[in-house]
Amino acid sequence: MCRWIRGTPYARIAAHYADLIASGQLQPGTLLPSIKNLSEEWQVSTATVEKALRKLRNDGLIRGIHGIGTEVVDQPSSMSSGSQRQDRGRRTGSSWGDGERSDSHQAAVVPAPADVAQALDIQPGTEVVRRSRVYRDRHGIVAHSTSWIPARYGRLIPQLATSERLTGGTSLQLIAEATGHAISHRIDTASASRLTAEYARLLELDPDEASAGPVVVMTAKFVDSEGNVVEYGVDLGGPGRTWRTESEVVA
């Protein structure tokens, strides 16, 4: 019998195979066991197995091939926001999603643009640390991410202003540790924006050939226990990416 997972029988089966697919233990093109074999392995009815497979299909993880079986689908991971990466880092110790990596880390102290100044509750033109990086998986860019941090935290933590991947934790973890003030809450937004020349550059697209479709823009504002806005993050979804969340609905 497979490892125990909380939830209804069909949910346990679906979660088990979703985990195997997410971890790479089941590669794209792999065939799942037959409904009969799954029924015997999990000691449930075939109807329960069919319901589990239906959930995996609805989640875009598998597809049925007539006369052959059920195949794991190769697909890009969804984009993630700064707040989702914060949650992931707190749970797993890493902000990266399955199969992700980050590169093109850049940092500089710059004058705050008007929208950033408003988000950070400072005057436009005030110095801020701008940190950017690109998240990728095997399909290409997942998201271009920029963090805007008040310059006082850069003076407190010099590595925030260096163009290298941070060590010792995320920027939020480093700020909380240095100040002694925990990050208490965050404000998230999601919107669609037209593909501007600047967005095309950041997403490594040719403006003349790029799709005219909208770009998913996610922002996250992080506030500490003293009410200070310590970081404002802006994430641009890569081509073909969607933003996805999932939660249980309790009747």
Rg (alpha carbons) of the chain, rounded to whole number: 21
pLDDT at site 2: 44
Q: What does the buried/exposed string (b/e) look like for 204-218 if buried means 16 or more CB atoms within 10 Å of the residue's CB?
A: ebeeeebeeeebbbb
- Single out the residue of 93, 35, 87, 23 nearest to residue 61, CA to CA: 23
Nearest Cα neighbor of 228 from 175, 189, 168, 158 is 175
Distance CA 64, CA 85 (A): 32
Alpha helices in the chain (DSSP H): 9-23, 35-42, 46-58, 82-92, 114-120, 151-156, 171-179, 197-202
Query: What local confidence, expressed as pLDDT, does residue 1 receive?
Result: 40
> For 116-138, what is each residue's pLDDT tens digit?
999 999 999 999 999 999 998 87
pLDDT at residue number 174 = 95
pLDDT of residue 153: 97
Residues whose CB is less than 8 angstroms from the CB of residue 9 and which lie 6 or more positions away in sequence, other chains included: 42, 44, 48, 52
pLDDT reported for residue 19? 83
Residue keyed to tokens 């679906």: 14
pLDDT at 139: 74
Identify the helix (H) or strand (E) that includes residue 223.
Answer: strand 215-224
Q: Tokens 């501007």 appear where?
A: 196
Which residues in the chain land under pLDDT 50? 1-5
Identify which of 63, 69, 61, 55 has the alpha carbon closest to the alpha carbon of residue 24: 61
| Residue 76 structure tokens | 């890009």
Sign of CA dihedral 51, 99, 140, 197: positive
